[in-house]
């Protein structure tokens, strides 16, 4: 997560500086930050909706079939397909099942959060700081559970292929 954050933010910032300051082709407002504040990522929904980049959000919205009412599910599926495509270009293996599992599990957890909040949030109020602290632990726990199954097979296969060469 943080490697992607650093790489995407770094490339974005360098290009923004080039197009705004050096070339003067763009205005600063045409280069808004890619990521929101990590402080807002105290639920998985907020991680994906408020903090993480939205590079493909408009594209996903435009590619959503009009009859499809679950746009979040569609966005997670398209994201999985985009990651599988970039894996294919990088590794010559799309790891499509891994990508689909990771992103659909994230969608499922976000859905559970929504249902849970609607079931409990309407009549129970909790301390805001305590809720946020528990939320950060929750998001970290979800990623600790999901990321190894998503990335580990790719890392192992890449290492084995490098060793054979």
Euclidean distance between the first and final Cα of the chain, in Å? Answer: 29
Is the pTM higher than 0.75? The answer reads yes
Q: Domain spans of the chain?
A: 1-34, 37-164
Q: How many helices (H) and strands (E) does the chain have?
A: 6, 0
Q: What is the pLDDT of residue 17?
A: 97
DSSP helix/strand/coil, 101: helix
pLDDT over 70 percentage in the chain: 99
Tokens 């919205």 belong to 61
Question: Tokens at residue 60, please?
Answer: 């996903």
**47 or 1, which is more confident:** 47
Tokens 């999901």 belong to 146
What mean pLDDT is predicted for residues 104-133?
89
What mean pLDDT is predicted for residues 46-65?
83
Measured from the Cβ of residue 72, the count of other Cβ atoms closer than 10 Å reads 16
């Amino acid at each position: 997560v943080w490697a992607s954050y650093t790489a995407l933010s770094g490339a974005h910032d360098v290009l923004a500086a080039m197009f705004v300051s050096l070339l003067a082709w763009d205005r600063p407002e045409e280069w808004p930050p890619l990521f929101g504040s990590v402080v807002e990522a105290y639920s998985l929904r907020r991680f994906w909706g408020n903090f993480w980049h939205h590079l493909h959000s408009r594209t996903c919205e435009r590619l959503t079939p009009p009859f499809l009412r679950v746009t979040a599910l569609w966005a997670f599926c398209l994201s999985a397909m985009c990651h599988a495509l970039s894996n294919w270009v990088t590794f010559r293996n799309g790891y499509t099942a891994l990508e689909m599992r990771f992103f659909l599990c994230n969608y499922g957890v976000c859905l559970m959060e929504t249902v849970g909040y609607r079931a409990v949030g309407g009549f129970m109020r909790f301390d805001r700081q305590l809720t946020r602290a528990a939320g950060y632990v929750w998001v970290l726990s979800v990623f600790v559970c999901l990321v190894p199954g998503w990335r580990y097979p790719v890392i192992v296969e890449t290492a084995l292929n490098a060793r054979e060469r």
